[in-house]
Amino acid sequence: MEWKANWIWDGSGEHPRNQWTCFRKTFTVPADFDSATLSISADTKYSVYMNGVLIGSGPVRGWTSEWYFDQYELSRLNQGQNVIAVLVNHYGIGTMHYIEGRSGLLSQIDFYNKGQLINQLVTDDNWKTENHDGFIKETVKMSNCLSWSEIYDAGLFPNGWEQLDFDDTSWNNAEIIGSYGMSPWNTLIPRDIPELTNEPTFPKSVLSLKEVMPISQHFSIDLGPTFFPGELASNSGKVMQGYIVTEIYSSQEVEGVMTLTFDAHAEVKWEFKLNGIEYKTQNGKYENIKLGNGANLLIVDVGGSFHEPIIHISFDFPEKVDLIAPFSESQSRFLAIGPFYTDTRLQIGKPVSKSIPLEKAYLKMKDVCSLSELESFNMWAKAIPNEHVCTDNVSLLSMFKEDIRTHSLNFQHQNMVLPNQSFTKVEPMEQGDTEYLIDFGKEYLGHIEFELEAAKGTIFDFFLFESIHQDGRIEHTFSLNNSLRYIAKDGRQVYRSFIPRGFRYMLLTIRNINTPCKIFRVKVDVTTFSTGNVGDFSSSDYQLNQIWEISKHTIRMCAQDTIIDCPAYEQALWTGDSYNISLMNYYTFGNYDLIRRCLRLISKSVYRSPLPESHVPSGWQNVLTAWSILWMMACREYYRFSGDLEFIKEVYPELKLTVQRFQEFINKDGLLEISAWNMLDWAPMDTEHKIVTHQNVLLVDALKHTAYLASIIGKNEDERTFLSIADALKQAINEHLWDEDGKVYFDSIHEDGTPSKNRSIQTNLIALITDCAEGQRRNLIEEYIKRPPEDFVQIKSPFVLFFYYQALMSLGKNDLVIDNIRDIYGYMLEHDATTCWEGWELIEGDFSRSHCHAWSAAPTYVFGVLFLGVQPLEPGFTRVAIAPNLNGLKWIKGSVPIPQGKIDIYCKDLGEYIDLQITLPDQVEAQIKTPTKNTKVLVNGKHYSSDEKGFILFQTNLVKSYY
């Protein structure tokens, strides 16, 4: 297509914060058109309506310089007048899946007659635009990784603005900000995956009804714009020194409580001073405080290191208090003193300072106890704008509360979760707010939708989370504000959230209710990558079947416009995670187009950072070295499973560039030495150093994989070069990273040249599966893997278990794999898991941080290999190995998706022989193998015996084919 449209905006600026803008254009269709195509994109997100009907949302995530657009076939246009309406939400900040570009909308409708373009409707300054006042901008991010939480007041904006008969004459004209091809969207790319699903899903049940009283006042203060002005990225490693100050005005002497909460990743002092009295607190701890009559000076030390510089302060007094920023002529509540020092420290391969200089003024400010003493710091004072302060933080109100009483739950309270026209009538409580706990039965990711009847001003707060303990304790992931606030207008109304959220449980709290209201329904429109339900596994073992189901559901909920790590906390495409998740996906859904898209997005990050970044495309620029390496290996695995040679040709320049970049980090001893994030497992490995063993051994394997890819596209000189680098690195590893006395690979070499004293399963596991350990060393490590020594650091995440299972299967220790899966995943099932946890013991007292984490769904891959025994013998499954193994079970059956379709397998032990039934596409050649030699097998009704190696010799018509 040829773009004629202009980029337009509403005049709110290039980087408006949490901006929601409506655009409309009324038009008349050509009389002789027979088809019409809408092409549209926006920064950051849009929802587009045609004659009041929602037809789509987007765009998919991408790099700003290669931005995506969507296309829709318009099949239901009116003869005569029509209206296109677009709602655009511009973030104004970066997230972990978005890099701040600038605000803008681009749209074009092409009208055709018999395939010939006859007319166009393009965005220009004749479009109408208006700020959508219903969306409250003074909110908080859903987490340090995500965009803004939704607060919507239905009474603040006209209903039906998307409809044809809406009067927009009072709206402003849009302004043209540039033509197609303008910066930062230099190139627009058509959407490369199908639209996501929209699956209405109703809750399982209402679990409880309580009367609650939230903490009376709270303030969530975004310090970023004040302490890091102009910085719109979401980079971690923000270091700052400063204070926030306010005067608390009370009409009398009074006692109450105060809580102080920072981002969960913050490293801060947790210190504040009230009227000269110093307090040392903890995250979310209730502190008893006293206010005097009149002004009370509160000074909070906000110095420290942050992923997101945000602070939450809550008060609970018999009466609300007023907060006023000292010395400020504005109406601001808070004053910033500082910053005395700031720095944003990126881990992208260069050395990063760990020291924080203590500025004299910052230290001197610590002694301030009164306003008169504060005056000498006026040069450092800045009023924090009230638009950077949220007083409607639903997560805080849902966590910091008093349970007044639990009410009986008769059946009418279940009506709200039923897919019919019944309703739940909610009466006002005597003292507090009405709180329902709703269970959706499984973890889902999607858009919340509800229908209700209420009086104007009634508040409906939705707080979403993943896990509840047996004793009823909710696992709150602090810094995860997974919430929605809806303020009702009068009458019956429906609302569907614009932002998708991941959760299982919902706390619905109804506030400011003076007259009864009705809740007709609450549901979630589940949104996932569009795919057939192809992969399957079942067996005679009920527990293993359940483990397969929760693992498969995890993969599905983490398949969005990219693979994501988790639906709730981050929704990010992590580069290293995607290696494991891709292999799991091949055995569950076979989403090759989604995997291809992810690998391509990752490849482009080498043009911003020295190596492929840890997660992309992201406002947090970061290199996690092992993740960079795993991307190289993932490209090789993608080719092995898909046979997609064209993609390898496309991405090869970035693969070669990555090898060259790694060469720059090889030291004089021939080892990889780099300053970056060195995480492999949530375990106490000794890897916070520049020379890390697991990264070196992984790189050897990645170089070999990349050499192979070079060979298949005729880059033979590159192949030889890459193999030479791999051989030299392998030799250096075995010379410098092996402890001959301890007979083990140690974790790292410290900066003073001394080897780490740490011994870990993880390091030696990776050395084994990459074939860096040979001879007697390999024999020793094999024993460590089969029987992990107690004094070694043990595996602490399902991510590393994936590699552990691969190693055990290669050693023929299937029994250990199954036992471990029963132990780890059985524990999750015991505690009501419907998806796989990120890890265990990640947060003290909680099961996990994330309860749906795709890197943890290893059983999907393991069962496909260990039980069904399906693996490609040639790229793209033109030849396939099928080696079913009952592993002690009575029967197994399943399906494995492949590019040509799927392979169906049924296997049962009948005592004297194995009954095996296999169906596969006719263009696929199969090699069948039994777990033991000389086994009698009935294959699709014909008797065979395996040979001395366990293979079955057969004619080409042995296996059933389908077309």
Radius of gyration of the chain (CA): 30
Q: Is pLDDT of 413 > 50?
A: yes
With respect to residue 139, please indicate whether it lies within any of the assigned structural domains: no
pLDDT at res. 144: 84
Under the banding of pLDDT at 50, 70 and 90, the label for residue 844 is low
> Is there a single domain that holds both residue 589 and residue 684?
yes
DSSP letter assigned to residue 755: B
Q: Is pLDDT of 809 > 70?
A: yes
CA distance 721 to 429: 75
> Is there a single domain that holds both residue 704 and residue 769?
yes
- Facing residues of 108 across strands? 39, 122
Burial of 293 (0-12, 13-18, 19+ CB in 10 A): exposed
pTM (two decimals):
0.96
Higher pLDDT, 470 or 35: 35
Average pLDDT over residues 394-421: 95
Q: Is pLDDT of 938 > 70?
A: yes
**Which amino acid belongs to residue 204?**
K
Under the banding of pLDDT at 50, 70 and 90, the label for residue 946 is confident
3 state DSSP class of 35: strand
Which residues, 6 or more positions from 536, have their beta carbon under 8 angstroms from its beta carbon? 893, 894, 895
> Is there a single domain that holds both residue 259 and residue 352?
yes
Which residues, 6 or more positions from 352, have their beta carbon under 8 angstroms from its beta carbon? 237, 345, 346, 675
How many domains is the chain built from?
5
> Is there a single domain that holds both residue 186 and residue 203?
no
With respect to residue 387, please indicate whether it lies within any of the assigned structural domains: yes
CATH number for the domain harbouring residue 941: 2.60.420.10
> Is there a single domain that holds both residue 847 and residue 778?
yes
pLDDT at res. 956: 44
Q: Read off the pLDDT of residues 574-621 as tens digits, 9 standing for 90 and up.
A: 999 999 999 999 999 999 999 999 999 999 999 999 999 999 999 999
Under the banding of pLDDT at 50, 70 and 90, the label for residue 355 is confident
DSSP letter assigned to residue 103: -
**Residue position matching structure tokens 């390898």:** 648
**Residue position matching structure tokens 């220790």:** 813
Q: Is pLDDT of 806 > 70?
A: yes
**Residue position matching structure tokens 């050897």:** 700
Which residue from 913, 914, 842, 926 is spatially nearest to 882, judged by alpha carbons?
926
- Of 837, 866, 895, which marks where a domain is finished? 866
Under the banding of pLDDT at 50, 70 and 90, the label for residue 932 is confident
Q: Read off the pLDDT of residues 723-767 as tens digits, 9 standing for 90 and up.
A: 999 999 999 999 999 999 999 999 999 999 999 999 999 999 999
CATH number for the domain harbouring residue 362: 2.60.120.260
Under the banding of pLDDT at 50, 70 and 90, the label for residue 358 is confident
With respect to residue 289, please indicate whether it lies within any of the assigned structural domains: yes
Print burial letters for 821-854: b (CB count within 10 Å at least 16), e (below 16): beebbbebeeeebbbbbbbeeeeeebbbbbbbbb
Report the sign of the C-alpha dihedral through residues 171, 172, 178, 182, in that order.
Answer: negative
With respect to residue 141, please indicate whether it lies within any of the assigned structural domains: no
Q: Is pLDDT of 843 > 70?
A: no
pLDDT at res. 284: 84
pLDDT at res. 958: 57
pLDDT at res. 672: 98
With respect to residue 143, please indicate whether it lies within any of the assigned structural domains: no
Q: Is pLDDT of 477 > 80?
A: no
**Residue position matching structure tokens 């340090």:** 144
> Is there a single domain that holds both residue 666 and residue 625?
yes
Which residues, 6 or more positions from 292, have their beta carbon under 8 angstroms from its beta carbon? 250, 253, 275
Top mean pLDDT of 139-143, 317-321, 639-643 is at 639-643
List the structure tokens of 399: 């966590």
With respect to residue 903, please indicate whether it lies within any of the assigned structural domains: yes
pLDDT at res. 959: 64
Q: Is pLDDT of 159 > 60?
A: yes
pLDDT at res. 650: 98
pLDDT at res. 963: 38
Query: What percent of the chain clears pLDDT 90, i.e. is strictly above it?
Result: 91
pLDDT at res. 875: 98
> Is there a single domain that holds both residue 513 and residue 543?
no
List the structure tokens of 99: 């890099």
CA distances from 227 to 16, 231, 337, 379, 563 (A): 18, 9, 9, 14, 34
> Is there a single domain that holds both residue 792 and residue 842?
yes
With respect to residue 416, please indicate whether it lies within any of the assigned structural domains: yes
Which residue from 720, 733, 643, 751 is spatially nearest to 693, judged by alpha carbons?
733
> Is there a single domain that holds both residue 715 and residue 654?
yes
CATH number for the domain harbouring residue 647: 1.50.10.10
With respect to residue 144, please indicate whether it lies within any of the assigned structural domains: no
Whether the bond into 921 is cis, omega within 30 of 0: no
| Domain that includes residue 945, residue range | 876-962
Q: Extract long-range pairs of 472-476: CB within 8 Å, 24+ residues apart.
A: 474/505, 474/507, 475/843, 475/846, 475/847, 475/848, 475/851, 476/395, 476/399
> Is there a single domain that holds both residue 891 and residue 935?
yes
Q: Is pLDDT of 479 > 90?
A: no
Q: Is pLDDT of 870 > 80?
A: yes
**Which amino acid belongs to residue 419?**
P
Are the C-beta atoms of 699 and 707 separated by less than 8 Å? Answer: no
Under the banding of pLDDT at 50, 70 and 90, the label for residue 955 is very low
What rounded mean pLDDT belongs to the chain? 95
Which residue from 602, 608, 705, 604 is spatially nearest to 659, judged by alpha carbons?
705
- Of 365, 391, 417, which marks where a domain is finished? 391
> Is there a single domain that holds both residue 707 and residue 818?
yes
Q: Read off the pLDDT of residues 687-734 as tens digits, 9 standing for 90 and up.
A: 999 999 999 999 999 999 999 999 999 999 999 999 999 999 999 999
- Of 359, 391, 423, which marks where a domain is finished? 391
> Is there a single domain that holds both residue 519 and residue 404?
yes
